[in-house]
Structure 1
């Protein structure tokens, strides 16, 4: 299991939060979250919290946008044949759908082609370009790909076909000679939002073509933007926020059917629903089948046809999940065999090539190591593979050193795809094992993650969710805030899910509780036991049978530092508070510690040979028994601060329990009122007063002493009378009352608390910690 070190994203002081709250007229929670994200300028705060369609940028700020529109206008006017070449992931499918629908709104009838992951590979494919050229197309528009297709695009140009490239991926050293390249990071004309997704770029073209009518397509752009994990900053926030709003209007029949199949409601969809429900189903098409049906789904107006595609999509997604689970479980034996390897290389046993990347990602998460997952491909006769690596290890750099071993290779720092001859894979595996050390990457080191808010369970409510959601949409560059709950427990934990690996539990502080779900965390909870823990989670709502309840989505939980201290103290302190102490038991201790002389003298008379010491005498390194309880908790604090004993048994004997009774304010008032209304009561008749008021004589004596000290009553000729108090007095001013409160602290902390709570309190002062 990967060790995680949680650190607060930033730690603004209370003064900084209060000042920012006042200046910007914000809620303190919202202010703290904005400060942690360095969003402090007036304009930035406003646009971040209120992303709206007015903040969409001029599409003509993108490189070659004017050229692209001119080419499209010419093609439509001349009734030329237009082809759209997309990609097989959710970003590529939505990009293709946006471009297709935008052109159709202008009267064009474009065809589209989504490459097959297994036959065509990623990006431009010369054979497929030849196929399109043979269809007699006049204009090719690439979406979510194309900048890496220099040779393929040259072929199209040689055939007299116009080419518009729309893409957002990293630029190659040499750009293709297309007629127009619409891309947000072309040197010299960088767009104001350089992190647009492929769907974002396609939407900007639709915006330039259609104006306000393009808003009907922004929901598809939102799906592509979230699915491709681009930074949700700047215009991307507007695309997602406005896309979610437009989704409520159900512009696309197929999307509405898919949303319903996912048991979602159009008017309540969030970016999380896109990320975890809609996008995975669209992605599944390209992983196992043809993603072309995804474009058909998002562009059709036929509800019956859409339902057929959605049913097929659901089946494919379920099959994808099963294939991933089977392969991942199958991989565990190989993972265990490579536990000492710096880079894990897995060989598939009939694994579907479309899920290799997911298996690599899961294995990386489990082991915190770079992972390559391969499967022999019968068609090509080579091993096809996909790789993933944690932050801190550059997978592209590691593999690029051995490019000569690959049949094909491409990727970036944290992900790659490749083909390699089977007899070269073992050689590559051996060469990679030194790479983590070369890059200074330690897979055993803790992974640092950030949390945002330190809160208590009683601060979690629906209003807090509203405050947090002011920063939505969440995603890459703006993660959903993680809440830390300290010193809580997991209660009623049970396993759920097909493979019983997921956790359903209650998080409790013994007063409040809230339900929680942790994916893949049941075993971790079993190892946690009953220990206090620090929980890191995101707050959400679970809606079931028409009822809404707060629910935590767990990111992690760890034994809290407080619990670790308690565990350490359990190795030192023994709970003897409810035990009978025999002479034989006493003989096992080096010293018997006393806080009161009366007990010290009593035990000394019974056993003159016993080694008895007072609480202020040192007993470093000894095995000791604390016999009696102090009257002042500060004395006990002093003892545990200054004596690093080997073992300490806590007995805390007393036969004066009445001295520890908590003062009853109602009884005190009742007694005082009685004394004020009965002026002829003798001091030695208080037993009669106690009986009449149904009080204990000890209580009446105690309350009476307090009244005398505070000058509430006075003694006149043996009678208790009302005193002429000249000023208001507080009960705490009475030495007797103050002393009783001190003894109450002793009783509450040392006697009434359970052993874990007692040790938790002691951990703040004890010298063993």
Structure 2
């Protein structure tokens, strides 16, 4: 299990939050979240919170867009044969769909090709390019790929075929010699939103070609943007926000059928529905089958045909889930065998190649280590593999130096794909184990994550969700705010899911509770059972049978630092308060410890056969019983700071038959006024005064002693009379201060439950 150190993203003061909220006309929750994300400029705040279609940027800011439009216009006008070459993930499928629908709106009849993950691999494939060329195409438009296809594109150019590359991936050292390269981060002409997805780039081309009519396609661009985990900043926020609004209009027949199958309520659709329901189903097509059916689904106008594809997609996605779960469980024995390895290399047992990346990712999350998941490919006779690595370890750098071992290799810092001869895999496994140390990556160190809000369960409500959602859409670059609940407990824990690995529970404090669910967290929850926890998660709404309930989506559960201290102190301290202690029980201890001389002297005269010591003596390594209670907490605090006993039983005996008296200011004033207005009251007749005022006699004696010390009253010939004293404070009375100290002792050492007592002790105890 990966350990997590949670740190607050930023921790503005209450004054800073209040000032920001007042100046920017937002509430304090929104103010805090904006400050934490560094969004403080007025125009930036307005754009971030209220992004709309008017903020779509001029598409002609993209590199070579004018050239691309001229080539497309010419091809359409001359009825040339146009082919679209896409990619098999959700971004590639939506990019292909946007380009296809755009060209159709212009009157063209394009063909499209989505590569097969297993036959064609990622990106431009020369054999497929040859096939398209042989079909007589005049123009090839790549979407979500192509910028690394220098050799393949040269082949088409040599055959007289025009090529437009539209892509967003990292640029190679040498760009292909295409007729136009539409890319948001070409050096020297970077677009205002350089982190567009492939679908985002395709949409910008549609925008330039179709104008306002292109907005009918922005919902597809939103899917690609969320699915490809690009930064949800700038124009990407506009694309997702407006795209979600467009989805509610039910414009695309196939997308509407897919949304129905996902059981998404259109009026409430959000980016999480795309990320967790829509995109995974589209991605599943490319993982297990051919993603071309995804393009057919998103571009068809035939509802019956769309339903057929959606049903097939649902079956494929369910199969994908089963394959991932099976492979992940199967991998556990290999993971355990490699517990001392810095890099985990897994060999599939008939794993499907399409899920290797997901398996590697899940194992990486579980172990916080780089992971290579491989499977023997019978068709090619080599091992196919996919790798994933945590932040802080560059997988591409680690593997690139061993490139001679691979028959194919590519990727980036956190993900890669490769092919390798089976005979070379053991050698690679041995070599990569040195890479974490070379890169200074400590896989045993806790992962540092950020949370945003310190709240209590009472703070969680539907209005808070509305406040948080003002910052939506959430994703890369704008994570959903994580809430921390401190010192709460888990109640009614139960396992759910096919394999029982998921957690369903209540998070509660003394007065409130909230439903919570943690995926893959049931085992972790058992480790914090019955202990106060710090809980981290995102607030959401769970709708069931027409009812909406708050729900916390758990990210982590940790025994709170205070609870850890209490658990540690329970190994040292024993609660003997309110117990009957006989001589035989006391003799089981090495020593009895005393705070008061009277008890100490009396005990020494008893027949108890055990060593008796004062609280400031040494008893290191012994088992002791603290017999009596101190008269003030300072004495006990000093005792805790030096107590090196192995075990300490807390008895805290006293001869008082009732709790210490709490000074009552109102009663003190009543008594003083009575003494001032009544003469000839003898000190030995105070029992009559107490009875008349309905006070306890002990209270009257205590108050009178305080009055004498402060010179509020004086004794004249046995009578209590008013004194001519100056204004004085109660704290100037030794008797009053002693009483307050004794009350603190009573409240903290005697009346508190044992956990609360240990919590207080932890601030002073030398064991903490």
Residue matched to 2:191: 191
Unaligned runs of 5+ in 2: none
CA distance in 1, matches of 2:190, 2:318: 41
Residue matched to 2:349: 349
Q: Does residue 283 of structure 2 align to residue 283 of structure 1?
A: yes
What CA deviation, in whole Å up to 9, does each residue of 1:708-743 have, x standing for no partner?
99999999999999x999999999898777655544
Q: Secondary structure at the match of 1:277?
A: helix
Q: 1:457-468 residue pairs with structure 2 within 5 A?
A: 457-468=457-468
CA distance in 1, matches of 2:281, 2:677: 82
Q: Are the structure 2 counterparts of residues 346 and 148 from structure 1 closer, same or farther at C-alpha, using a change threshold of 3 Å?
A: same
Q: Is the 8 A contact 2:489 2:531 kept in 1?
A: yes
Q: 1:327-406 residue pairs with structure 2 within 5 A?
A: 327-406=327-406
CA distance in 2, matches of 1:666, 1:181: 85
Q: Does residue 758 of structure 2 align to residue 759 of structure 1?
A: yes
Which piece of structure 1 moves more, 674-683 or 641-650? 674-683
Q: Does residue 490 of structure 2 align to residue 490 of structure 1?
A: yes
CA distance in 1, matches of 2:202, 2:680: 97
Q: Is the 8 A contact 1:151 1:176 kept in 2?
A: yes
Q: 1:585-624 residue pairs with structure 2 within 5 A?
A: 585-607=585-607, 611-616=611-616, 619=619, 622-624=622-624
Unaligned runs of 5+ in 1: none
Residue matched to 2:164: 164
What is the deviation of 1:686? 8.0
Q: Does residue 536 of structure 2 align to residue 543 of structure 1?
A: no
What CA deviation, in whole Å up to 9, does each residue of 1:430-479 have, x standing for no partner?
22222222222222222222222233333333332222222221111111
What is the deviation of 1:673? 12
Q: 1:83-162 residue pairs with structure 2 within 5 A?
A: 83-162=83-162
CA distance in 2, matches of 1:135, 1:107: 20
Calculate the TM-score normalised by the size of structure 1. Answer: 0.91
CA distance in 2, matches of 1:716, 1:82: 117
CA distance in 2, matches of 1:456, 1:407: 55
Q: Are the structure 2 counterparts of residues 318 and 689 from structure 1 closer, same or farther at C-alpha, using a change threshold of 3 Å?
A: farther
Q: 1:554-593 residue pairs with structure 2 within 5 A?
A: 554-593=554-593
CA distance in 1, matches of 2:532, 2:177: 63
What is the deviation of 1:704? 8.2
CA distance in 1, matches of 2:351, 2:608: 80
Which piece of structure 1 moves more, 424-433 or 314-323? 424-433
Q: Is the 8 A contact 2:376 2:383 kept in 1?
A: yes
Residue matched to 1:213: 213
Residue matched to 2:35: 35
Q: 1:58-97 residue pairs with structure 2 within 5 A?
A: 58-97=58-97
Q: Secondary structure at the match of 1:471?
A: coil
Q: Are the structure 2 counterparts of residues 733 and 522 from structure 1 closer, same or farther at C-alpha, using a change threshold of 3 Å?
A: farther
Which piece of structure 1 moves more, 697-706 or 59-68? 697-706
Q: Are the structure 2 counterparts of residues 299 and 683 from structure 1 closer, same or farther at C-alpha, using a change threshold of 3 Å?
A: farther
What is the deviation of 1:546? 2.7
CA RMSD of aligned residues (A): 3.3
Q: Are the structure 2 counterparts of residues 499 and 79 from structure 1 closer, same or farther at C-alpha, using a change threshold of 3 Å?
A: same
Q: Is the 8 A contact 1:411 1:417 kept in 2?
A: yes
CA distance in 1, matches of 2:158, 2:22: 65
Q: Secondary structure at the match of 2:658?
A: helix
Q: Secondary structure at the match of 1:660?
A: coil
Q: How many residues align?
A: 768
Which piece of structure 1 moves more, 192-201 or 419-428? 419-428
Q: Is the 8 A contact 2:589 2:610 kept in 1?
A: no
What CA deviation, in whole Å up to 9, does each residue of 1:166-189 have, x standing for no partner?
100111222222111100111221
Q: Is the 8 A contact 1:658 1:698 kept in 2?
A: no
Q: Are the structure 2 counterparts of residues 708 and 497 from structure 1 closer, same or farther at C-alpha, using a change threshold of 3 Å?
A: farther
Q: Is the 8 A contact 2:253 2:302 kept in 1?
A: yes
Q: Does residue 228 of structure 2 align to residue 228 of structure 1?
A: yes
Q: Are the structure 2 counterparts of residues 740 and 491 from structure 1 closer, same or farther at C-alpha, using a change threshold of 3 Å?
A: farther
Which piece of structure 1 moves more, 377-386 or 301-310? 301-310
Which piece of structure 1 moves more, 364-373 or 617-626? 617-626
Q: Is the 8 A contact 1:515 1:552 kept in 2?
A: yes
Q: Are the structure 2 counterparts of residues 593 and 427 from structure 1 closer, same or farther at C-alpha, using a change threshold of 3 Å?
A: closer
Q: Is the 8 A contact 1:63 1:184 kept in 2?
A: yes
What is the deviation of 1:300? 2.1
Q: Is the 8 A contact 1:382 1:422 kept in 2?
A: yes
Q: Are the structure 2 counterparts of residues 706 and 305 from structure 1 closer, same or farther at C-alpha, using a change threshold of 3 Å?
A: farther
What CA deviation, in whole Å up to 9, does each residue of 1:552-588 have, x standing for no partner?
2111122222222222212221211132222233234
CA distance in 2, matches of 1:464, 1:717: 71
Q: Secondary structure at the match of 2:387?
A: strand
Q: Are the structure 2 counterparts of residues 676 and 240 from structure 1 closer, same or farther at C-alpha, using a change threshold of 3 Å?
A: farther
Residue matched to 2:49: 49
Which piece of structure 1 moves more, 751-760 or 321-330? 751-760
What is the deviation of 1:290? 1.5
What is the deviation of 1:598? 4.0
Residue matched to 2:6: 6
Q: Are the structure 2 counterparts of residues 728 and 249 from structure 1 closer, same or farther at C-alpha, using a change threshold of 3 Å?
A: farther
Q: Are the structure 2 counterparts of residues 463 and 619 from structure 1 closer, same or farther at C-alpha, using a change threshold of 3 Å?
A: farther
Q: Is the 8 A contact 2:659 2:746 kept in 1?
A: no
Residue matched to 1:416: 416
What CA deviation, in whole Å up to 9, does each residue of 1:144-175 have, x standing for no partner?
01112222222222333222111001112222
Residue matched to 1:747: 746
What is the deviation of 1:611? 4.2
Residue matched to 2:767: 768
Q: Secondary structure at the match of 1:498?
A: coil
Q: Are the structure 2 counterparts of residues 282 and 431 from structure 1 closer, same or farther at C-alpha, using a change threshold of 3 Å?
A: same
CA distance in 2, matches of 1:671, 1:505: 56
What is the deviation of 1:251? 2.0
Q: Is the 8 A contact 1:659 1:743 kept in 2?
A: no
Q: Is the 8 A contact 2:587 2:609 kept in 1?
A: no
CA distance in 2, matches of 1:71, 1:711: 103
What CA deviation, in whole Å up to 9, does each residue of 1:266-310 have, x standing for no partner?
121221221111111111111111211211222222333222222
Which piece of structure 1 moves more, 693-702 or 468-477? 693-702
Q: Are the structure 2 counterparts of residues 708 and 648 from structure 1 closer, same or farther at C-alpha, using a change threshold of 3 Å?
A: same
CA distance in 1, matches of 2:203, 2:724: 83
Q: Does residue 671 of structure 2 align to residue 660 of structure 1?
A: no
What is the deviation of 1:32? 2.7
What is the deviation of 1:619? 4.9
CA distance in 2, matches of 1:207, 1:479: 28
Which piece of structure 1 moves more, 649-658 or 53-62? 649-658
Which piece of structure 1 moves more, 670-679 or 96-105? 670-679
Residue matched to 2:297: 297
Q: Are the structure 2 counterparts of residues 688 and 441 from structure 1 closer, same or farther at C-alpha, using a change threshold of 3 Å?
A: same
Q: Secondary structure at the match of 1:606?
A: coil
Which piece of structure 1 moves more, 235-244 or 25-34? 25-34
Q: Are the structure 2 counterparts of residues 274 and 578 from structure 1 closer, same or farther at C-alpha, using a change threshold of 3 Å?
A: same
Q: Secondary structure at the match of 2:605?
A: helix
CA distance in 2, matches of 1:96, 1:475: 23
What CA deviation, in whole Å up to 9, does each residue of 1:684-715 have, x standing for no partner?
88878988999876567768888999999999
What is the deviation of 1:338? 2.0
Q: Is the 8 A contact 2:712 2:725 kept in 1?
A: no
What is the deviation of 1:535? 1.9
Q: Secondary structure at the match of 2:470?
A: helix
Residue matched to 1:180: 180
Q: Are the structure 2 counterparts of residues 630 and 266 from structure 1 closer, same or farther at C-alpha, using a change threshold of 3 Å?
A: same
What CA deviation, in whole Å up to 9, does each residue of 1:493-545 have, x standing for no partner?
22111100111122233333222211111111112232223222222222223
CA distance in 1, matches of 2:307, 2:638: 74
What is the deviation of 1:41? 2.8
Q: Is the 8 A contact 1:256 1:266 kept in 2?
A: no
